[in-house]
Amino acid sequence: MAAFPWHARSRNYVSESDVYKLESVPLDFGDYHPLKPITVTESKTKKMSRKGSTSSTSSSSSSSMMDPLSSVLDGTDPLSLFAAAADPLTATASMDGIRKKRDKDDNSAVGSDFEQWSSKRSEILSRYTTTEKLSINLYMGSEKGKTTTSGSAVSEKVRTRLEELDDLEEGSQKELLNLTQQDYMNRIEELNQSLKDAWSSDQKVKALKIVIQCSKLLSDTTVIQFYPSKFVLITDILDTFGKLVYERILSMCMDNRVSLSDNFSPETVNDTAKETCLNWFFKIASIRELIPRFYVEAAILKCNKFLSKTGILECLPRLTSVIRGIGDPLVAVYARAYLCRVGMEVAPQLKESLNKNFFDFLLTFKQIHGDTVQNQLVVQCVEIPLYLTLYSPAIDWILQCIAYRAPENLTNFSELFLQVLLTEMMERCKKLGNNALLLNSVMSAFRAEFIAARSMDFIGMIKECDESGFPKHLLFRSLGLNLALADPPENDHLQILNEAWKVITKLKNPQDYINCAEVWVEYTCRHFTKREVNTVLADVIKHMTPDRAFEDAYPQLQSIIQKVITYINDFSLLFSVEKFLPFLDMFQKESVRVEVCKCIMESFIKHQQESTKDPVILNALLHICKTMHDSVNALTLEDEKRLLAALINGFIKMVSFGRDFEQQLSFYVEARSMFCNLEPVLVQLIHSVNQLAMETRKVMRGNHSRKTAAFVRACVAFCFITIPSLSSIFTRLNLYLHSGQVALANQCLSQADAFFKAAVSLVPEVPKMISVDGKMRPSDAFLLEFLCNFFSTLLVVPDHPEQGVLFLVRGLLNVIQDYTWEDNSDDKVRIYTNVLHLLSAMTQETYIYHVDKVDSNDTLYGGDSKFLAEISKLCETVIAQILDHLKTLGKEETLKRQSQLALCFFNTILAHGDLRNNKLNQLSVNLWNLAQKHGFADTKTMVKTLEYIKRRSKQPDMSHFTDLALRLPLQSRT
Amino acid sequence: MGTALDIKIKRANKVYRCGEILSGVVVITSKDTVQHQGISLTMEGSVNLQLSAKSVGVFEAFYNSVKPIQIINSTIEMVKPGKLPSGKTEIPFEFPLHVKGNKVLYETYHGVFVNIQYTLRCDMRRSLLAKDLTKTCEFIVHSLKGKLTPSPVDFTITPETLQNVKERASLPKFLIRGHLSSTNCVITQPLTGELVVESAEAAVKSIELQLVRVETCGCAEGYARDATEIQNIQIADGDVCRGLPIPIYMVFPRLFTCPTLETTNFKVEFEVNIVVLLHDDHLITENFPLKLCRM
């Protein structure tokens, strides 16, 4: 095959740019802009006579874009549709109705901000457990006999014996002994089920009996540590029962199949329903035993609504006082909790009885120290502190109910409450010690603002508490939790801290101490300066160091650090807290230490606004980063490494010594030595150093002095020796190229050459497949991209005086030639066409771009004919290669590729070749025909190309294109 | 199968007072037409007296006198003999509640030895081949309003106030104080009051309210008087807090209580016992006669 000589078209880039560059059009930011906010105006077509603005009708104007929100507002929401459809009068009425109803709801229903019982339920069940054996004692014998048994004078003893006989005869006494906790729970669940079954099979009396027997279990306090859980289980049954009764009566109220609304009045209830309801109450009122009677009545409290408006109002206080008859204080307090629970559900607005419940509880509090309770505890081997914690769920619940929405009348209610409480407390303090429990419950139940405002009082009370009962550190912890949420009065800040810390610091047990301190650190950080924080940290260190107590307290210590860095965002301030770093030293377990370091770095990256050169920060953070870096080992996960690297990079980016470039460089050098195991950090460092070099160039306005030139060379050297230590080949290639460009820009020609040479020699090592995001992908696309980029750079790289002409290009071409390409890929040819582009550009008199202050080959050779001949020879070789390849594609299955490549080459000639040359002209015509030969050419593309040629022919000096166009036939598909 | 007879009284609670009109419907349901010899409705009210087993021997002489005392008895013919169509037939009725002469409509009361009961009975007489059908239905009579004067009672129970004590020395010391709002009670209102265990050496096991009826049958020459328990309501369970008032609260059960009644042949009276049971099985009882009335 004859060699085709290449004749590059000579270009005048300046004039071309003038002709082809886009015209700039002044932007008109008129009405429309996609980001402009949509202005909403009320449309006048809607009825305006409605009260209230529940249905704001609006339409978006001045925007062609449909905003989903505004489209909803635009009259299509159900409320406004409804309002628009009805005439104004009825609309008003119904709207008012709805509003009234809603207001009512607000009064009578508990808002979603009330923590529901269900959320407490599982907590109690999991907390109060036992391994002891439990028993259920059920007498399913009928209650009947009692109303008719004769003889009032029969003694109690005889009578019970008779009853027992009766029951035995009926064979319905069940006593289940030796149940494990799980058995017990299953039994209760069975009872719950049989209650439902009995109810659905219309055995109302049996259902009532089950409920009575169940609630009777609540009077039994054997295995006392299980009592709270038992309460939870059994009240579930009671709730079921209450619901069943209520629904049954409600269903009886259905008149003409219209059920009552939720807020019915008793007058609308029919007589039958009322009678049934009354029957229930009469039946329950005759239950002999106090506890079942109380619980069952409380369970159906809601049914009072059927009888009278004030029923519940009267019932609640009565039931409250009924509880006074329960002798066991634990049983009583849970009964109170249940009443509050039912009360909150049915009539949350009735606060008085809630309060009364609590005050009654206070009155009976002294019973805990009575003989009855103490004897019981001795029998069951339960310690007083454990016993007291059994009270917590109930008291917490009662207080939560009381505190709910209490602030509305905070002034009078809470004052009163506190007064009562305080006097109660002080009085008891002198005699007993266990009001601590109460205090704790008060603090955890009431709103933080409320507690915070009276912190000093609380501290006073805590201090007076006796240590024997409830542990004091828990009290301080509770108080601290409140203070973390709400601010105490300004003047008390310091005193509170002093008082609290005085006690905390005296705690002997490190675990108690740290639990307390953890909470109080937040308060300290919130209100005080670094001095106090420092003191606190110092104290913590002092307490936690002996016997390596910190080892058991990592979570708490970690949370302390977190709190400190949340509140102190200024890192120079943070690190000037002397004890901060010593505090960090306590984290001796590596995983925890790294976690802490990560937290600190995250906070730094998030909060540090300006770059810094503060030596304190740098030292500390370097230390921290080093810790993170050193945790990396062979087992570290990729993700973890990436995260750590991102954090360290974030830090490196924030370091700036301003104009002190040398120090900056030495910082990078130090960083490199520290973080050598994390590649992304090294990459970042190379980029930073490159940036530093360019920064220097900018400062010197391109004219390096001797000193800056040396500095820049140092930077370049840094990059050059760092890059090889990276493992990813494309990162290396790109960095070589990038750094070479930087070196070139800084007139370090030999260094740039070195970079490019390194890049060239690295190309053969590129593997066929590389791993991208954990998947193996072919690397050719990346390589192609890199090489094109490389070619563009090579245009301006001047030839080395001692090496031959186009030394680098030849070297690269050799490498490409020798590279083992995929068998069925055309990448090599695509690269060769790109090489043609490069070579064409190199033959121009003036290159399209230059590096400032670097003479490229155009200046060096000045269009020397030898140089051009050299290029031409190269071109010939490349063209020969391309044509060879095209020939090999002549097989059936590769014809499509052949057509595409032919067209691609044709385009190259069209763009860069001089078509006045006959041979080239002929070649292009041949290529055109080849592209169409087997019908694989895309007709549209061909037509467009032809149109382009015709258009070009109209330009000056392009008349030969007309002839060319005539020689290019267009093959129709068919 | 067959024919069903039912009486439906208009008022759901079936409560009527003297002078009012008792109204309702008799409902007959049948698949086929019903042939009958007439349907009648009878209203009856009577006092049944019974002597307790222990009294029988002593008061044999009275045996004759213990027969039901009729208060009211009237019958009306609702439907003359004939046929009723198949399906459901409702026949409304009205009875004026009036008594003849100087008889009084006592209030409905179900006791042990005294029972005051009012019934409606519907009879359907049929030919020899089919059995007669009968349905009875109780209705309740409430007596007219009485007078009530409040009579609050304060009480104190100590070992010294007790009677019937065998060994006073072995008694633990205690002081229980309290009051009843009134011993003259409205039957529809609960018995209320308060009780305070001021002090007790022994632990309290239970405090109960025992409602007792005292029924007397007979006349001036000789009579049987029996006291029986109606119900027992526990108001305190376990060792209650000292000095804390415990509510006394008891609802009077329906049917088993009535306004206190005193006639020539029988008496129905009520009492309440406050029973305190101590842990060492000491039983302390304080008795209060009640006077119930209806307002």
Show the 3-state SS of A163-176: HHHHHHHHCCEEEE
Interatomic CA distance for residues A928 and A922, integer angstroms: 10
Contact A757, A812 (CB under 8 A): no
Question: How far A575 CA lies from chain B's nearest CA (Å)?
Answer: 60
How confident is the model at residue A865, as a pLDDT?
Answer: 86
- Interior angle at CA B266, CA B262 and CA B268, nearest 5: 60
Nearest-by-Cβ selection for A327 from B210, B230, B238: B238
Q: Within an 8 Å CB–CB cutoff, is residue A222 touching chain B? A: no
Contact A541, A503 (CB under 8 A): no
Average pLDDT over residues B79-86: 86
A24, A153, A922 from B57: Cα distances, Å: 131, 21, 149
How confident is the model at residue A93, as a pLDDT?
Answer: 41
Residues of chain A with pLDDT under 50: 1, 41-108, 141-158, 161-162, 164-173, 408-411, 429-430, 974
Token reading at A540: 């913590």
Average pLDDT over residues B199-203: 86
Q: Which amino acid is at A68?
A: P
Task: Report the run of H or E that residue A684 belongs to, with start and end.
Answer: helix A679-699
Beta partners for residue B261, in sequence order: B268
For B102-118, the pLDDT digits (tens) are 788 888 999 888 889 99
| Chain B environment of A147 (Cβ under 8 Å) | 229-231, 253, 256
Nearest-by-Cβ selection for A328 from B232, B234, B238: B238
Percent of chain B residues past pLDDT 90, beyond the cut: 20
**List of residues 6+ apart from A359 with CB closer than 8 A:** A420
Beta partners for residue B271, in sequence order: B212, B289
Would residue B193 be called left, alpha or beta, if left means φ above 0 and alpha means ψ between -120 and 50 degrees?
left
Q: Which amino acid is at B127?
A: S
How confident is the model at residue A362, as a pLDDT?
Answer: 75
Contact A718, A684 (CB under 8 A): no
Contact B27, B8 (CB under 8 A): yes
**List of residues 6+ apart from A931 with CB closer than 8 A:** A899, A900, A902, A903, A906, A937, A942
Q: Do B251 and A322 touch (CB under 8 A)?
A: no
**List of residues 6+ apart from A227 with CB closer than 8 A:** A128, A221, A330, A331, A334, A390
Taking alpha carbons only, the member of A442, A462, A458, A453 closest to residue A488 is A453
Beta partners for residue B4, in sequence order: B29
Of the spans A500-504, A513-517, B129-133, B174-178, which averages the highest pLDDT? B174-178
How confident is the model at residue A735, as a pLDDT?
Answer: 94
Token reading at A404: 């709910």
Interface test with A, best of B50, B246, B271 (most A CBs within 10 A): B246
How confident is the model at residue A166, as a pLDDT?
Answer: 43
Token reading at A808: 């680098």
Interatomic CA distance for residues A872 and A12, integer angstroms: 20
How confident is the model at residue A420, as a pLDDT?
Answer: 60
Nearest-by-Cβ selection for A364 from B229, B241, B256: B241
User: Exposure pattern of A83-100 as b/e (b: 16+ CB <10 Å)?
Assistant: bbebeeeebbeebeeeee
| Chain A environment of B250 (Cβ under 8 Å) | 285
Taking alpha carbons only, the member of A678, A779, A793 closest to residue A729 is A779
**List of residues 6+ apart from B249 with CB closer than 8 A:** A318, A322, B190, B191, B192, B235
Q: Do B247 and A318 touch (CB under 8 A)?
A: yes
Question: How far A137 CA lies from chain B's nearest CA (Å)?
Answer: 18
Estimate the crossing angle of helix A410-431 against helix A435-445, to 10 degrees. Answer: 160
How confident is the model at residue A3, as a pLDDT?
Answer: 66
Q: Do B277 and A367 touch (CB under 8 A)?
A: no
**List of residues 6+ apart from B231 with CB closer than 8 A:** A146, A147, A286, A288, B210, B211, B250, B253, B256
How confident is the model at residue A965, as a pLDDT?
Answer: 82
For A195-235, the pLDDT digits (tens) are 888 888 888 888 888 888 888 888 888 778 888 888 888 88
A238, A318, A335, A357, A865 from A339: Cα distances, Å: 12, 11, 6, 9, 107
Nearest CA in chain B to A283: B253
Q: Which amino acid is at A623?
A: H
What residues of chain A, 9 to 28, have a C-beta less than 8 Å from chain B? Answer: none
Beta partners for residue A842, in sequence order: none
Per CB distance under 8 Å, which residues of B are interface residues toward A?
11-13, 52, 112, 203-204, 207, 210, 212, 226-241, 244-247, 249-251, 253-254, 256, 273, 275, 277, 281, 283
Interatomic CA distance for residues B140 and A166, integer angstroms: 32
Interatomic CA distance for residues B291 and B295, integer angstroms: 13
Interatomic CA distance for residues A803 and A750, integer angstroms: 12
Token reading at A890: 């002549």
Interatomic CA distance for residues B122 and B127, integer angstroms: 17
| Chain A environment of B277 (Cβ under 8 Å) | 156
How confident is the model at residue A940, as a pLDDT?
Answer: 85
Interatomic CA distance for residues A631 and B99, integer angstroms: 105
Interatomic CA distance for residues B279 and A156, integer angstroms: 13
A398 phi, psi to nearest 5 deg? -60, -45
How confident is the model at residue B143, as a pLDDT?
Answer: 84
Going B258 to B263 to B266 to B271, the CA torsion angle's sign is positive
User: CB neighbours (10 Å) of residue A442?
Assistant: 25
Q: Do B241 and A366 touch (CB under 8 A)?
A: yes
User: CB neighbours (10 Å) of residue A897?
Assistant: 18
Contact A794, A756 (CB under 8 A): yes
Interatomic CA distance for residues A141 and A173, integer angstroms: 7
| Chain A environment of B237 (Cβ under 8 Å) | 219, 289-291, 325-328
How confident is the model at residue A416, as a pLDDT?
Answer: 59
Interatomic CA distance for residues A774 and A638, integer angstroms: 10
Taking alpha carbons only, the member of A29, A102, A107, A84 closest to residue A62 is A29
Beta partners for residue B185, in sequence order: B292
How confident is the model at residue A444, as a pLDDT?
Answer: 65
How confident is the model at residue A49, as a pLDDT?
Answer: 41
Q: Within an 8 Å CB–CB cutoff, is residue A144 touching chain B? A: no
R_g of chain B, CA atoms, integer Å:
25
Interatomic CA distance for residues B114 and B66, integer angstroms: 11
Contact B215, B267 (CB under 8 A): yes
A8, A527, A858, A867, A869 from A863: Cα distances, Å: 13, 77, 6, 7, 10
Estimate the crossing angle of helix A780-794 against helix A827-842, to 10 degrees. Answer: 10
Cβ pairs bridging A and B (under 8 Å) = 119
For B25-58, the pLDDT digits (tens) are 999 888 888 888 888 999 898 888 877 656 555 5
**List of residues 6+ apart from A753 with CB closer than 8 A:** A797, A800, A808
Beta partners for residue B206, in sequence order: B237, B277
Beta partners for residue B191, in sequence order: B250
